[in-house]
């Protein structure tokens, strides 16, 4: 190999390695949807490591004098090692899961690559090149072309998942898909060698491998459609809750208006009674009468006055629910600086309050004094963030797994979605859910805060 040939070949192999390295990261990030700490840095490091690997590889072959036709850019283990290294450092999950994620991503990439490589080899044989230069040019350009086609294929899978299925593909499903693809491709290679008629075996092999790619695309399509259907069911359920909350809110508002009109109508009589008690020096009775009037005024005010009708409706409904459990729900602050859709407001606020009421109404806390049997809801705006905070008493801190709160109910399959709904709704606005616990003589005080950044 001459120096000039080595330089040209080094550039081509470098491009190949960079595309392959970026594609392996793209599968983890875009297709499998595993969250990364520093996404841009991972792509940059992948490209840099690929370039260094490619040039070292070409220089080694140049020094060794290996002919171009004997160089096989497909047999590469350095990309595997590089991706595993990057996944271990940048993907947010347990270390043993990271190993399986890297393994699965590389197996999926290798299987798809094998499919396109076999198709390329069939074309190479059909064209029957007469010169080694032509074959080398075809080989190198086809490698780059196939990588571009692979990018397009995985881009389509990513776009599918971006619509309604942005959560990481379950690890078990990821591993099974990667193993099935690898086994299937290897099996087809063995069957390919068993055929006697070359033309028939080539056509059959290409068709079956293309069907395999179609099945992989169909797997993600079916999964996305199922997720979309589940989301629609959840949205319908939330919309029903919203309508029910609004109906109750309007009914309570109408009742409150009637009570206020009645109090206004009786105000003259109330003033006369108070004047009479004052003249007679019945201060204790006067104090009781004023307290009763004050309680009636408080009970007549059903709105939280947050500035958001949906939030007011939800608070009114949950306030009545809390009172039914012997609890008091207090609301402070306004919706300011952020716009939250009615569905997401229901996901966040209704679930926060439901969890608070459920935790505070357990039998163990029944004997708490009135001050501690209070649920505080607060809306607060700063220069950069908007916060919805709910504070309530609870008897014990919940279980956590991977930093996520787990349901304490035995029927895990049908519970634990409240926290997930809060988190997913908050993430849609770039926000997050933070839950802290402070130990108290009666148990704990729980504070759940949804923090949403305010865009300029």
DSSP string of 63-91, one letter each residue: HHT--GGG--TT--SHHHHHHHHHHHHHB
Burial of 352 (0-12, 13-18, 19+ CB in 10 A): buried
Check: CB of residue 102 under 8 Å from CB of residue 20. no
> How far apart are the C-alpha atoms of 111 and 155, rounded to whole Å?
16
pLDDT at position 447 is 92
**Structural tokens at position 184:** 């299937």
Burial of 279 (0-12, 13-18, 19+ CB in 10 A): exposed
CA-based angle 151:427:170, to the nearest 5?
A: 55
Burial of 180 (0-12, 13-18, 19+ CB in 10 A): middle
**Average pLDDT value for residue range 29-51:** 83
Beta bridge partners of 443: 440
Whether residue 195 is predicted with pLDDT greater than 60 in this model: the reply is no
Whether residue 376 is predicted with pLDDT greater than 90 in this model: the reply is yes
Name the residue with higher pLDDT: 195 or 415.
195
> How far apart are the C-alpha atoms of 29 and 42, rounded to whole Å?
10
Listed in sequence order, the DSSP H helices in 361-410 are: none
pLDDT band at 392, cuts 50/70/90?
A: very high
> How far apart are the C-alpha atoms of 92 and 81, rounded to whole Å?
19
Q: Is residue 448 helix, strand or coil?
A: strand
**Structural tokens at position 34:** 């595993």
**Average pLDDT value for residue range 384-389:** 91
The domain ranges of the chain are 3-228, 304-456
**Average pLDDT value for residue range 248-254:** 61
pLDDT band at 60, cuts 50/70/90?
A: low
Q: What are phi and psi of 303, to 5 degrees?
A: -90, 145
pLDDT at position 393 is 92
**CA dist 83 to 12, 20, 404, 429, Å?**
21, 10, 27, 31
Cα–chain-centroid distance for residue 71?
Answer: 43
Task: Look at the block and give the residue holding tokens 């197996």.
Answer: 107
* Mean pLDDT for the chain overall: 77
State the DSSP H helix or E strand holding residue 367, giving kind and residue range, or none if neither: none
DSSP secondary-structure letter at 169?
P
Chain segment 101-120, per-residue pLDDT in tens:
888 888 888 888 888 877 77
**Average pLDDT value for residue range 356-380:** 89
Check: CB of residue 373 under 8 Å from CB of residue 391. no
> How far apart are the C-alpha atoms of 376 and 301, rounded to whole Å?
17
Above pLDDT 90, what percent of the chain?
8
Please report the sign of the dihedral spanned by the C-alpha atoms of residue 17, residue 18, residue 22, residue 23. Answer: negative
pLDDT at position 448 is 92
DSSP secondary-structure letter at 454?
P
**Average pLDDT value for residue range 125-151:** 71
Check: CB of residue 416 under 8 Å from CB of residue 358. no
Top CATH class of 304-456 equals alpha beta
C-beta neighbour count of 134 within 10 angstroms: 11
């Amino acid at each position: 190999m001459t120096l000039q040939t080595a330089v040209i070949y080094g550039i081509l192999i470098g491009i190949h390695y960079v595309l392959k390295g970026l594609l392996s990261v793209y599968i983890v990030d875009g297709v499998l949807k595993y969250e990364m700490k520093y996404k841009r840095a991972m792509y940059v490091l992948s490209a840099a490591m690929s370039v260094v690997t490619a040039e070292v590889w070409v220089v080694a072959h140049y020094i060794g004098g290996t002919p171009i036709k004997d160089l096989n850019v497909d047999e590469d283990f350095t990309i595997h090692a590089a991706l595993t290294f990057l996944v271990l450092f940048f993907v947010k999950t347990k270390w043993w899961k990271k190993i399986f994620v890297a393994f699965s991503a590389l197996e999926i990439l290798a299987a798809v690559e094998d499919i396109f490589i076999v198709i390329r080899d069939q074309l190479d044989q059909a064209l029957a090149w007469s010169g080694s230069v032509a074959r080398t040019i075809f080989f190198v350009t086809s490698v780059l072309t196939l990588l571009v086609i692979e990018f397009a294929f995985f881009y389509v899978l990513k776009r599918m998942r971006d619509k309604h299925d942005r959560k990481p593909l379950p690890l078990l499903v990821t591993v099974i898909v990667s193993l099935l693809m690898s086994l299937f491709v290897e099996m087809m290679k063995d069957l390919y060698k068993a055929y006697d008629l070359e033309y028939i075996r080539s056509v059959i092999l290409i068709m079956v491998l293309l069907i395999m790619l179609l099945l992989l695309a169909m797997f993600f399509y079916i999964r996305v459609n199922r997720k979309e259907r589940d989301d629609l069911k959840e949205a319908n359920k939330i919309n029903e809750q919203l309508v029910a909350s609004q109906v109750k809110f309007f009914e309570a508002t109408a009742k409150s208006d009637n009570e206020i009109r009645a109090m206004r109508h009786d105000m003259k009589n109330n003033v006369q009674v108070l004047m009479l008690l004052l003249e007679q020096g019945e201060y204790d009775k006067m104090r009781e009468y004023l307290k009763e009037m004050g309680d009636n005024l408080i009970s007549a005010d059903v709105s939280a006055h947050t500035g958001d009708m949906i939030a007011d409706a939800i608070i009114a409904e949950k306030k009545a629910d809390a009172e039914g459990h012997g609890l008091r729900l207090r609301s402070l602050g306004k919706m300011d600086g952020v716009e939250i859709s009615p569905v997401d407001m229901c996901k966040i606020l209704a679930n926060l309050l439901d969890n608070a009421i459920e935790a505070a109404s357990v039998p163990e806390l029944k004997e708490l004094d009135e001050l501690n049997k209070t649920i505080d809801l607060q809306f607060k705006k700063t220069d950069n963030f908007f916060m919805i905070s709910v504070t309530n008493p609870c008897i014990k801190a919940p279980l956590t797994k991977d930093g996520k709160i787990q349901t304490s109910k035995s029927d895990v399959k049908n519970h634990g979605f409240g926290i997930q709904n809060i988190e997913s709704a908050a993430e849609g606005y770039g926000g997050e859910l933070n839950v802290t616990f402070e130990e108290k003589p009666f148990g704990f005080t729980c504070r759940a805060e949804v923090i949403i950044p305010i865009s300029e």
